[in-house]
Amino acid sequence: MLFTSLPSHLSTRMDAFPTSLPQAGGAAGFPASDTELQKMLIDERMRCELHKTHYQTLKAEHTRLQDEYTKSQNELKRLLVEKQTVHDKFQLLLAELRGELLDKTRELEELKLQVLTPQKLEVLKAQIQQELEMPRREQFRKLDEEVEKYRGEYNKLRYEQTFLKSEYEHQKEEHARILEEKKIKYEAEIVRLEKDKEELHKQLISVDPTRDSKRVEVLLREKAQLHQKVKGLDAEVAELRAERENSGMQAENVQRIQVRQLAEMQTTIRSLESEKQSVKLQLDRLEKELKTANEQNALLTSKLYKAEREINTLTSKVEELKHSHKLEITNMKLEAARGRSETEREKNNIQSQMDDAALNADHLLGPWDKSCVEQGHK
């Protein structure tokens, strides 16, 4: 209000000064000489111009300070908005970190539930070994018993085959020997009969046919008997041959049966061996799975330790962010208070300077106002 009223007041007083005063010698309170009056008027106008210049300077400074004050207020508002934004961001970050902390804690609990302690691992290992070894041992024992059983049967069949084969060879040799003996005997008998036949033929030629007719009949009867005997021997030989062939067929059948049983036994033994090998492979696979489970347990333990370290790191980061946020808020409050105090101090200084300038202007222009009024009345 002071700055807005001061220019019109000063301009009114300056316009009230006349450019030339009337010459009235001996007037009360005025100098006698016009030259001195003009000089005083010029000096007074120079002082007025100087005060006017000071006033314009103070007005410009006041405007600048008002602008700076407005800028400070805007800066303060901006800082408050930034503070609120930072606070909101911090709250969001804090909520996010808390969510991550809860997730990590949940994962940690899940990992703790999944991770096996050494005692549980040993108990589980013992249970798995017991569950795997007991049936396998029983199965191995049964397989060994079956192998021994089949091996005994195989040895028995092999012994029977060897015995039957040797008996067959013996019977074959015996039949061959008997056939050879009978063949030799029959050939000798045939040779003897041929000789007898020749002798009889010679006797028939040399003797009287009538006398020897009876002898011929006897010989014919003997010949018929011999033919019957030869036929009986041939039938016996055929029977022996049939028996030999039957024995050979039986031996071949027994041999084929034994070979088939031997092949079946070998197939069974091979299947048992393959089953035993598969059981061993399964046992190796289970041992590998147990080893893999142990490795996974170690991996889960390392992940658990890593998650705990990450949780500790996140907790320390949250604490650091809280501390830094508090420090930033404190610094912003201090800067805002410092800016307000500096602005108030500058405002008070400018106000005091303007008040002093107005008082000085009133003191300087007061006597001249009175002289101008008195001169106007005259």
List, for residues 334-357, the tens digit of each pLDDT value.
887 887 788 788 878 888 877 877
Shared-domain flag, residues 268 and 156: yes
Q: Where is the domain boundary, 242, 266, 286?
A: 286
| pLDDT reported for residue 20 | 39
Report if residue 309 sits inside a domain. no
| pLDDT reported for residue 50 | 92
| pLDDT interval class at 13 (50, 70, 90) | very low
Count CB neighbours of 262 within 10 A: 14
| pLDDT reported for residue 363 | 67
Nearest CA to 331 out of 86, 62, 53 is that of 86
| pLDDT reported for residue 261 | 79
Count CB neighbours of 185 within 10 A: 11
| pLDDT reported for residue 53 | 92
| pLDDT interval class at 17 (50, 70, 90) | very low
Shared-domain flag, residues 137 and 275: yes
- pLDDT over 50 (residue 25): no
Report if residue 301 sits inside a domain. no
Shared-domain flag, residues 98 and 141: no
| pLDDT reported for residue 42 | 92
| pLDDT reported for residue 27 | 40
Q: Give the residue numbers spanning the domain of 176.
A: 133-286
Shared-domain flag, residues 332 and 244: no
E-strand spans in the chain? none
Over residues 222-243, mean pLDDT: 81
- pLDDT over 70 (residue 303): yes
| pLDDT reported for residue 304 | 77
Over residues 221-248, mean pLDDT: 80
| pLDDT reported for residue 14 | 40
Q: Where is the domain boundary, 269, 286, 303?
A: 286
Q: Where is the domain boundary, 286, 310, 329?
A: 286
Total domains, the chain? 2
Sole residue written with tokens 């800066």: 75
Tally of CA atoms within 13 A in the half-sphere of 55 that contains its CB: 21
Q: Three-state SS for 117?
A: coil
Shared-domain flag, residues 73 and 187: no
Shared-domain flag, residues 206 and 242: yes
How confident is the model over 48-90, as pLDDT tens digits?
Answer: 999 889 999 999 999 999 898 898 889 888 888 988 888 888 8
Whether residue 288 contacts residue 176, with contact meaning beta carbons closer than 8 Å, is answered with no
Burial of 271 (0-12, 13-18, 19+ CB in 10 A): exposed
Shared-domain flag, residues 7 and 74: yes
Report if residue 275 sits inside a domain. yes
For the chain, what is the mean pLDDT?
77
How confident is the model over 237-296, as pLDDT tens digits?
Answer: 788 878 878 877 887 787 788 788 778 878 888 888 888 788 788 878 878 887 887 787
In the structure, how many helices (H) and strands (E) does the chain have? 4, 0
Report if residue 347 sits inside a domain. yes
| pLDDT interval class at 46 (50, 70, 90) | very high
* pTM, rounded to two decimals: 0.33
- pLDDT over 60 (residue 26): no
Shared-domain flag, residues 72 and 30: yes
How far is Cα 320 from Cα 206, in angstroms, rounded to an integer?
A: 158
Shared-domain flag, residues 52 and 96: yes
Nearest CA to 54 out of 12, 10, 1, 5 is that of 10
Cα dihedral 160, 162, 164, 170, rounded to 10, equals: -150
Shared-domain flag, residues 167 and 259: yes
Q: Three-state SS for 318?
A: helix
How confident is the model over 90-108, as pLDDT tens digits?
Answer: 888 888 888 888 888 888 8
Report if residue 182 sits inside a domain. yes
How confident is the model over 174-207, as pLDDT tens digits?
Answer: 888 888 888 888 888 888 888 887 887 777 676 5
Report if residue 305 sits inside a domain. no
Report if residue 120 sits inside a domain. no
- pLDDT over 80 (residue 141): yes
Shared-domain flag, residues 231 and 327: no
Shared-domain flag, residues 260 and 330: no
Cα dihedral 198, 202, 203, 206, rounded to 10, equals: 180
Best-predicted range by mean pLDDT among 30-34, 79-83, 303-307? Answer: 79-83
Over residues 206-230, mean pLDDT: 71
**DSSP 8-state code for residue 115:** S
| pLDDT reported for residue 208 | 55
| pLDDT reported for residue 116 | 63
Report if residue 122 sits inside a domain. no
| pLDDT interval class at 4 (50, 70, 90) | very low
